[in-house]
Amino acid sequence: MSEPTVSETRLFQPTADFASQSHLGSLEAYRALHKRSIDDPEGFWSEVASELTWMKPWDKVLDESDAPFYKWFTGGKTNITVNCIDRHVEAGNGDRVAIYWEGEPGDSRVLTYADMQKEVSRFANALKAMGIGKGDSVAVYLPMVPELAIATLACARIGAVHSVIFAGFSAESIKDRVLDASSKAVITSDGTYRRGKELLTKNIVDEGIADCECIKNVLVVQRHPEKEPFAHGWVEGRDHWYHDLAKNASDECAPEEMDAEDMLFLLYTSGSTGKPKGIMHTTGGYMVGTYLTSKLTFDLKPEKDVYWCTADVGWITGHSYIVYGPMQNGVSQVMYEGAPNYPAENRFWEIVEKYKVSIFYTAPTAIRAFMKWGDDHVTKHDLSSLRLLGTVGEPINPEAWMWYHRMIGAEKCPIVDTWWQTETGGHMLTPLPGAIATKPGSATVPFPGIDAAVLDEDGNEVERGILAIRKPWPSMLRGIYGDPERYKSTYWCKWDGKYYFPGDGAIKDEDGYFWITGRVDDVVNVSGHRIGTAELESVFVEHPAVAESAVIGVPHEIKGQGLVAFVIIRTGAEGDEDVMRKELTSMVDSKIGKFARPEKIIFSGDLPKTRSGKIMRRLLRDIAEDRPLGNISTLADPSVVEILKDKIKG
């Protein structure tokens, strides 16, 4: 995949049809709104917040007294689920569909907003019955079934902090997260379906929590028709079938009054060093940010749109743009359990046709897979309901953008390429459809309220450099759970606390458009998933035969980036490389998850190091990509380069 460059000159103007019906119908309207939001951020954000329901209004919009620990809407009281659900029911829209759910085997469920009010309340009461209340941490390890959205909202309803763990993570990853968050309960299912196979989620949870004394209860949602004989048994008193508890639970539950700065959730993400960090989001700012970004970026018209975000709720995209943002806007959405190529490669397009999806939001890696699978899977479906497309998770290469535009968007749907992060909570750079002309591969311009710049290391504005955000914004992270120093040093130290440092490189072109060039730290983006190279390296060195390891990211045709691991075996511990490769791969599966498997594991006697002993990762990347190596005279032992080159080719 090629890096986005400013050599791309194609420009796609909003169509008059789209512009005339959109929330922000012109470039002038965007410019005026953006200027207003930067000149008077507090006035701007308080107007947005006033569109939502609060139990008590805030005293102050932004409190900067303890920067970078910014606080928003201080003194305000609310409950985000009231804005996601009750507000719509009270406005007479209880009959509107909230979720059209599609199971992988072909079963389906439809839940209206009124149903959601009952289901979320029932679930919330079941949690209460287990002794869970405000401030308690609850881990959620569920597949993409409606209960995933219901459970997260139920936590929010009673003020419990949810920590959703993507159901592709291994038992050991569950353990790390449960212990870090001191979760009191886990919500899981007996299993799920993936590419036709039954996957037993509770077994993975049982293994993960075996040594977690903090866990008092496990709530199990039934997904398979037959009750499973669980590998680790059923622990009486700890394990409960959700459907049993639900029988006695009332479907009314008053929302807990939450302070704007009370924690809403934790979501773990990888950084360049150490263990995954628990990103903290609080109630009020996150609520306001996800509400407005959903409304404007997707131009949501709740009376007529059917929205579909293909992400998993286990990632931030699912939190902000399945659960909280779309529901606050009262739109109908599709939720799908399974794989895009099951039973066949046309599954997504079949779903778009079936539910007449009008807004479709997916990842570039998926688009590249669709391209590879061939146009026939697309052309046999009627996709004329689509009016807007979006992408998220990684830079999109112009070729994939053009295919999406032509094949899925019929050259009429605007494409919103949304740049943002777990930490930012919501969209930061994105075209606003109807207002901003698009360029294939560019996330275009800052969202209202966001002041972005491209800087060099010293904080000077440059054309190509590092992305920086000048001002705090409501949906920003409030910190790293249990580690305030790491929050400061990771995000606020690069430019002396003046700017937020997201860890991405960027170019700003002459029109003021931003082009994300990828991570500038040791984080690799594999199919839109963040993987810290240090995390993977520490898995490998746990193997008794491994002395040292270095992991790098390399371009990958479908995944955007793939991982290559260089592994040094201890002298005397050498053995069959294929056996070793299998052992190391299964360690990755069990310590992180299958999605973090490297494409290649290369065994080597040494790694290129400087005389001071630092591994030269840039050089490893050049070797892996077969690029000219330039000056290698600073290497302690230049001969290692030739050996590695042969190994890569072999």
Is 451 annotated to bind a ligand? Reply is no
Is 527 annotated to bind a ligand? Reply is yes
Among the listed residues 318, 433, 502, 608, the single contact to ligand 6R9 using CB under 6 A: 502
Residue 504 in contact with ligand 6R9, rule: CB under 6 A? yes
Residue 164 in contact with ligand 6R9, rule: CB under 6 A? no
Question: Which lies closer to ligand 6R9 via its Cβ, residue 104 or residue 394?
Answer: 394
Is 393 annotated to bind a ligand? Reply is yes
Strands 479-480 and 192-194: unpaired
Is 562 annotated to bind a ligand? Reply is no
Tokens encoding 44: 């701007």
Question: Which lies closer to ligand 6R9 via its Cβ, residue 369 or residue 516?
Answer: 516
Residue 443 in contact with ligand 6R9, rule: CB under 6 A? yes
Is 93 annotated to bind a ligand? Reply is no
Among the listed residues 519, 556, 591, 609, the single contact to ligand 6R9 using CB under 6 A: 519
Tokens encoding 90: 């009270």
Is 585 annotated to bind a ligand? Reply is no
Is 31 annotated to bind a ligand? Reply is no
- Taking the CA of residue 545 as centre, how many other CA atoms within 13 Å lie in the half-sphere pointing to its CB? 16
**Least distance (Å) from ligand 6R9 to the CB of residue 269?**
5
Residue 473 in contact with ligand 6R9, rule: CB under 6 A? no
How many H-runs (helices) and E-runs (strands) does the chain carry? 22, 30
Question: Which lies closer to ligand 6R9 via its Cβ, residue 54 or residue 166?
Answer: 166
Site size for ligand 6R9 (CB under 6 A): 23
Among the listed residues 83, 310, 317, 604, the single contact to ligand 6R9 using CB under 6 A: 317
Among the listed residues 530, 559, 591, 597, the single contact to ligand 6R9 using CB under 6 A: 530
Question: Which lies closer to ligand 6R9 via its Cβ, residue 249 or residue 531?
Answer: 531
Strand partners, 551: 565
**Least distance (Å) from ligand 6R9 to the CB of residue 429?**
7
Question: Which lies closer to ligand 6R9 via its Cβ, residue 328 or residue 525?
Answer: 525
Residue 318 in contact with ligand 6R9, rule: CB under 6 A? no
User: Minimal CA–CA distance to 79: which of 318, 384, 328?
Assistant: 328
User: Minimal CA–CA distance to 431: which of 374, 529, 514?
Assistant: 514
Query: What residue type is 279 in one-letter code?
Result: I
Is 194 annotated to bind a ligand? Reply is yes
Tokens encoding 242: 């959700």
**Alpha helices, DSSP H only, in 298-437?**
316-318, 325-328, 347-355, 364-373, 376-379, 398-403
Binding to ligand 6R9 (CB under 6 A): which residues in 392-431?
392-395, 417-422
Name the one residue in this structure whose structure tokens are 């032509």.
Answer: 406
Choose one: 5-13, 36-44, 523-531, 610-618; the region binding ligand 6R9 (CB under 6 A).
Answer: 523-531
Choose one: 103-111, 310-318, 531-539, 635-643; the region binding ligand 6R9 (CB under 6 A).
Answer: 310-318
Calculate the alpha carbon distances from 354 to 108, 334, 361 in Å.
12, 10, 17
Is 478 annotated to bind a ligand? Reply is no
Helix/strand/coil for 308: strand
User: Minimal CA–CA distance to 552: which of 516, 602, 593?
Assistant: 602
**Least distance (Å) from ligand 6R9 to the CB of residue 500?**
12
Is 543 annotated to bind a ligand? Reply is yes
Residue 320 DSSP symbol = I
Among the listed residues 150, 204, 316, 454, the single contact to ligand 6R9 using CB under 6 A: 316
* Cβ(525)–Cβ(393) below 8 Å: yes
**Least distance (Å) from ligand 6R9 to the CB of residue 372?**
21
Question: Which lies closer to ligand 6R9 via its Cβ, residue 125 or residue 422?
Answer: 422
Other C-beta atoms closer than 10 Å to the C-beta of 371 total 18
Is 317 annotated to bind a ligand? Reply is yes
Phi, psi of 463 (to 5 degrees): -80, -45
| 83/510 Cα distance (integer angstroms) | 40
Beta strands in 520-649 (DSSP E): 523-526, 529-532, 546-556, 560-569, 600-604
Burial of 252 (0-12, 13-18, 19+ CB in 10 A): exposed
Residue 96 DSSP symbol = S
Q: What string marks each residue from 226 to 265 as x (binds ligand 6R9 by CB under 6 A) or -?
A: ----------------------------------------
**Least distance (Å) from ligand 6R9 to the CB of residue 520?**
9
| 471/497 Cα distance (integer angstroms) | 11
Could you tell me which residues come within 8 angstroms of residue 101 by beta carbon, excluding any fewer than 6 positions away? Answer: 108, 109, 110, 111, 145, 146, 334, 335, 336, 337
Size (the chain), residues: 650
Closest-approach residue to ligand 6R9 (CB): 422
| 517/5 Cα distance (integer angstroms) | 8
Question: Which lies closer to ligand 6R9 via its Cβ, residue 100 or residue 515?
Answer: 515
Question: Which lies closer to ligand 6R9 via its Cβ, residue 328 or residue 549?
Answer: 328
**Least distance (Å) from ligand 6R9 to the CB of residue 517?**
8
The annotation places the binding site for ATP at: 393-395, 417-422, 504, 519, 530
Binding site for ligand 6R9 (CB under 6 A): 269, 315-317, 392-395, 417-422, 443, 502-504, 516, 519, 525, 528, 530
